[in-house]
């Protein structure tokens, strides 16, 4: 199980690293924030909810990602993430030209890929240690 978890985390980290670099060159359009709130109905699953609408090539899309960086697990961190994104506000949306449904609002945010990479390596090392015992 540790090998699978480690491999999944390493894979996630490499995906985050690639996307955070790639989105620096994505084109942008103007979109509109439609929803921005912290969902704390179930306290053990508190999460930020962000939705924005944008059009690319005459086709409408709905985005949900602020950036490829993490946002923290505290209510204060989630409130801080959502603070600039007031419903109704016009925002610049950076979208993947190959897959316009993939978009972010902040293409300069530092990705937390290294954190997930090191966490995954830790799982792999643990699996190796347990396998040798």
Residue-level pLDDT, tens digit, the chain, 133 residues: 666 767 676 676 666 666 767 778 899 999 999 999 998 776 667 788 999 999 999 999 999 988 877 666 778 888 888 999 999 999 999 999 999 999 999 887 565 655 556 666 676 677 676 767 7
Q: What is the pLDDT of residue 2?
A: 65
Would you state the structure tokens that stand for residue 101, as one six-digit string?
């449904």
Distance CA 102, CA 107 (A): 12
């Amino acid at each position: 199980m540790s090998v699978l978890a480690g491999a999944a985390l390493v894979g996630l980290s490499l995906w985050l690293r690639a996307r955070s670099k790639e989105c620096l060159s994505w084109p942008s359009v103007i979109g509109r924030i439609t929803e921005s709130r912290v969902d704390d109905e179930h306290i053990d699953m508190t999460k930020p909810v962000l939705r924005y609408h944008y059009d690319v090539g005459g086709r409408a899309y709905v985005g949900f990602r602020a950036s490829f960086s993490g946002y923290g697990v505290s209510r204060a961190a989630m409130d801080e993430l959502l603070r600039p994104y007031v419903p109704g506000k016009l925002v610049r949306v950076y979208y993947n030209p190959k897959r316009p449904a993939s978009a972010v609002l902040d293409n300069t945010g530092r990705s937390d890929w290294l954190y997930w990479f090191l966490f995954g390596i830790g799982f792999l090392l643990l699996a190796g240690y347990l396998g040798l015992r």
